[in-house]
């Protein structure tokens, strides 16, 4: 379920699940984000233009089916509780409906309201250290349909940045055919 805070400028607020008290909270204060670290020139030269055809082009059914087959197993879903395995094993009609919506979102850049937001849950790194802040890591649980869309966008952005040689040569992490070791 998506919760909307109408008093927030963005219409959204932070929610997190506490394993200690087993409750969902939304009481963390919101802070403004720092300025974007990406150089302004990249936006001015339309290198990262969200309307770029490379980012918004039609997703073929073959590509969509490939994305579905590549989804990892045993991953936690978001509020909708729909797992990747469910999408992979879904009846053809359900996959067709998802394909149509994913394609529409990829092309127009607008997520359905129910896909927006995420649930942040805190996971202890070691058993017995649940109350030590340094021993807790957050994970963000998004609806799996939204994760499919964001993975398509991420792949397309990555390809676009590589094609335009935007990234520094020394940038190794999260790039195809490169290693940080």
Give Dmax over CA atoms of the chain in angstroms. Answer: 52
Quick one: pLDDT at residue 43?
61
- Per-residue pLDDT, 122: 86
Alpha helices by DSSP H, the chain: 40-44, 53-56, 61-70, 84-89, 92-108, 144-163
DSSP 133: G
Q: pTM of the predicted model, to two decimals?
A: 0.64
Work out the angle between the directed axes of helices 144-163 and 61-70 (0-180°, nearest 10). Answer: 110
Q: In the prediction, which pLDDT does 65 show?
A: 92
Ranges of residues in the chain whose predicted pLDDT is under 70: 1-20, 25-34, 36-39, 41-50, 180-181
């Amino acid at each position: 379920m998506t919760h909307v805070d109408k008093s927030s400028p963005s219409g959204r607020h932070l929610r997190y699940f506490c394993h200690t008290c087993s409750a969902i909270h939304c009481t963390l204060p919101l802070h403004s984000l720092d300025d974007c670290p990406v150089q302004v020139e990249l936006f001015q030269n339309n290198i990262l233009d969200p309307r770029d055809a490379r980012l918004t082009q039609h997703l073929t059914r073959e590509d969509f089916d490939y994305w579905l087959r590549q989804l990892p197993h045993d991953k936690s879903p978001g509020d909708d509780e729909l797992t990747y395995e469910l999408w992979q094993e879904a009846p053809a009609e359900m996959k067709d409906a998802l394909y149509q919506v994913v394609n529409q979102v990829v092309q127009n850049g607008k997520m359905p309201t129910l896909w927006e937001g995420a649930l942040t849950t805190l996971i202890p790194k070691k058993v017995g250290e649940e109350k030590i802040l340094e021993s807790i890591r957050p994970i963000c649980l998004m609806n799996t349909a939204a994760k499919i869309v964001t993975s398509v966008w991420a792949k397309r952005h990555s390809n676009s940045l590589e094609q335009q040689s935007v990234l520094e040569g020394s940038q190794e992490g999260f790039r195809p055919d490169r290693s940080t070791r």
